[in-house]
Structure 1
């Protein structure tokens, strides 16, 4: 990560010749100092992906004007695109249930500035972590979820997220299935950590499923949330080797370490605009 302020362009478009030339020429024409470039051509999809960081102080205009000046090029190339500012901290809302390991890890990374974000609030379907969260100076919202109140509960989650102007919602072992309406409201903004190496062992108790199947690897997956359970675009994954001597309890203990790491890494990629979604797949410029 660069110390100086920079703008990040992320874009995808139909593949063709001259894409890089047009974009780089645009920045060069305005004395833009490119700090980092990542490019990928997907031959099967016929699509081109890019991520470019440019020093903010090298350009003669601010972000709003940069976007307006770049728009004609984006339209010509039929781009899905955005430009973000490294000086603007992302606002991340955490959702948690009763398991604490991912919550503790993310708050430690936030407190140490390893994750340079704002956490405007934390939401839970249990009151378990209220004291811990409020000790950190973060507002805590208890929104119980029952079979009878799900629509109202998730409407309240959406209201809070919009009220605090959230940029990302992170399910830090939030053990409820979000409503399709909530998923549809924030596509590509809700991240989940699933405690298996997807697409294996979706749904509840994946370590128990893995134990019964006798697998030799267990893992964790950070993915975007969609209305289809545990089927969203995958951001990051990792695994650890196990054997016949490991009980379910051992697998749960090993898995917690992987879950923390994978969620933090996937969230960082998302916050740094390194993840481009196309269909149900991602391009991750690490």
Structure 2
């Protein structure tokens, strides 16, 4: 997939992986980069740092905002041909915590999974009109081996993995290429939710710049499924002995909780 002269929309572009995509894609002769995020002040700060990019305050968990985003973006940037569905949230969740209400417990589904599916459904007709287009869905290595502290997040990423596989099949006769990037544990603000658990050397976090560099190289080489760092190992473990490795992770989490007390 050629990135030069493309117009790219990145959801969740104000921090972490999305922000790093912005930084690195700026070095690939991309024509325009648009990022979205929920925090207007963060978007303003990034705009000051990268004046060549365009920012739009938008929440992918809100279907009406996605509709408005589509109307605005396709009018102002009709050449849009690549979407990176990166927006996501990750929480440390105890499923026995009865204080969580029914609306709050599905927040990760609304953003991570439903947000991605809605973005694709909304923008797909536009992308199909382009001579060369792509959708990049950010899943996770946790799609293959779930993380015991993040049950809903892990489920959403498994959902994105399955959805992306079928999306690729259904669009195989179109000009829209479908990529999945499944990062391993990566040094981003998402990990702040687990600062109270000492995982020691059990989890090796990948540098975000290295992870995104691998992802971009995979896109340039038309690699449909991109598994940076330990994500390859997680997928292999998920095939060979998923229960064993899930129990291993659970034991590491329990040990980490004790060390953190």
TM-score range, shorter chain: 0.3 to 0.5
Structure 1 or 2, whichever has the larger Rg, is: 1
Greater relative contact order (Cα < 8 A, sep 6+) = 2
- Give the TM-score, by structure 2 length: 0.47
